[in-house]
Amino acid sequence: MSGEWISIGIIVAVLFYGMVLYNKLVGLRNGVKNGFAQIDVQLTRRYDLIPALIESVKGYMKHERETLDAVVKARNAAVSGLQAAAADPVNAQAIAELSGADNALSGVLGRLFALSESYPDLKASENMRDFQEQLATTENKVSFARQAFNDAVMSYNNAIEMMPSSIIAGWFKFMPSAFLEIESEKKREMPEVKF
């Protein structure tokens, strides 16, 4: 009789431990979703600033229609990528697509700002300086949100790949998430310091 109670106790302990691991995985997955929600807020702000920026520079850059159209197209692609990723922030493919679309947008915005240097009136415009400052501030907030998101992704991915929680993760089909990558190799390089 005592052997049955020991077996029942072991089964209950294993089930309880499995439940604890499952709840931990759910908590970590929700941490990834929360981290992405912070990115969503900042990227939405960034994407909302771009149409106003385009309107502001249109009058000055009449001959740069191709660049302006490229910015609008890249912004729309990034907004679509953000919506897809927001629907399932744990989906590695959606995060990778958002990363690519946002990187493309950063590239075209860089070209727009480089071109704006050729227009002294635009360069001196208070609106242009204000937009550049707002975008820079938003980029900093995106960077902090990205770091928090990537930390949450790392914790989540570690939990679903390490034993014994990997067993529970496999049973309940917890899939690994992807990091939101830095947009350019330049930002990965160490700055050159000269004295």
DSSP codes, 112-137: HHHHHTT-HHHHH-HHHHHHHHHHHH
Structure tokens at 92: 């590695």
Whose tokens are 């993760």? That residue is: 169
Whose tokens are 């850059």? That residue is: 61
**CATH code at position 77:** 1.20.1440.20
What three-state secondary structure class fits 1? coil
Q: Is residue 49, in this structure, part of any structural domain at all?
A: yes
Q: Is residue 184, in this structure, part of any structural domain at all?
A: no
What are the two backbone dihedrals, phi and then psi, of residue 7, each rounded to the nearest 5 degrees?
A: -65, -45
Query: Structurally, how many domains does the chain consist of?
Result: 1
Asked whether residue 10 carries a pLDDT value surpassing 80, the answer given is yes
Pair 102, 81: CB distance under 8 Å: yes
Asked whether residue 180 carries a pLDDT value surpassing 70, the answer given is yes
Q: Is residue 126, in this structure, part of any structural domain at all?
A: yes
Closest CA to 137 of 46, 36, 57, 41: 46
The string of pLDDT tens digits covering residues 121-138 is 777 778 888 888 898 899
Q: Is residue 9, in this structure, part of any structural domain at all?
A: no
Residues present in the chain in total: 195
* pLDDT score at 153: 96
Look at 113 and 90; give whichever has higher pLDDT: 90
Q: Which domain holds residue 44?
A: 32-149
* pLDDT score at 190: 44
Kindly report which listed range (77-86, 149-158, 182-191) carries the lowest average pLDDT score.
182-191
Q: Is residue 45, in this structure, part of any structural domain at all?
A: yes
- Grade residue 184 by pLDDT with cuts at 50, 70 and 90: low
The string of pLDDT tens digits covering residues 52-89 is 888 888 877 777 888 889 999 999 999 999 999 999 99
* pLDDT score at 193: 41
Q: What's the chain's average pLDDT? A: 88
Closest CA to 152 of 53, 63, 43, 36: 36
Residue 188 carries which DSSP code?
G
Asked whether residue 192 carries a pLDDT value surpassing 60, the answer given is no
Q: Is residue 85, in this structure, part of any structural domain at all?
A: yes
Q: Exposure string (b/e) for 11-41, b if CB count within 10 Å is 16 or more? A: eeeeeeebeebbeebeebbebbbebbebbbe
Q: Is residue 58, in this structure, part of any structural domain at all?
A: yes
Q: Is residue 192, in this structure, part of any structural domain at all?
A: no
